[in-house]
Structure 1
Amino acid sequence: MTLALEIETRLREAFAPVSLEVLDESEQHRGHGGYSPDGSHFRVRMVAAALEGKSRVAKHRAVNAAVADLFPRIHALAIEV
C-alpha cells in the first residue's frame, strides 16, 4: 500500500468524509531535503461533518492525530479542511 493510500484510509476511517483527496506532491520536491520517490510531500483536501464547527487549529490537530504514526515517513503534509 502506498503512503498516500495509507493516509487516505486513515482519514476515511477517522472522519467518514463527504469528500477526500490525498495528493502526492513529492515529485515537485525532487532534489529537496526530505524527498522520497515513494512519497514524502502530501496535500489533503477534505470535507467532513466530524470537523464542522471546529477551529482551523482543532481541525488540523485532528487530521494530524489520525496519521500521527505515519509522520516518520511524511516530510510535509498540507491540510485543507
Structure 2
Amino acid sequence: MESWPFFNQVTADLTPLNAKKVAVKFDVFKIGGLIPIKAPGRARGELEITYLDEELRVSRGDKGNLFILTMVDPSYRVPT
C-alpha cells in the first residue's frame, strides 16, 4: 500500500525464482484504497531484491521501477 497522498494498493502472488528474484502475478489493484480493479491476466512481472533486512526491502522491477518497502507489522504471517 502506498502512503499519503495516494493510498493505492495491490494484491499479488509472489513465487520465488531464486534467492534474489520473485515472479509477480497481480490480482487486484485498489485506487485510493477504495476502488478495486481486477488485474488483467497479462499483469505479471519480476522483482529482483537488491537489499533485504528485518524492516526494509529494496527491489527493482523488470520494467525498471524501484520499490522501497517497509515492514508495517513484523508479527504478520501469510496464511498457508
What is the TM-score of this pair, normalised by structure 1? Answer: 0.27
Greater strand percent: which structure? 2
Q: Who wins on radius of gyration, i.e. which is larger?
A: 2
Q: Which has the higher contact order (CA 8 A, sep 6+)?
A: 1
Give the structure-2-normalised TM-score. Answer: 0.27
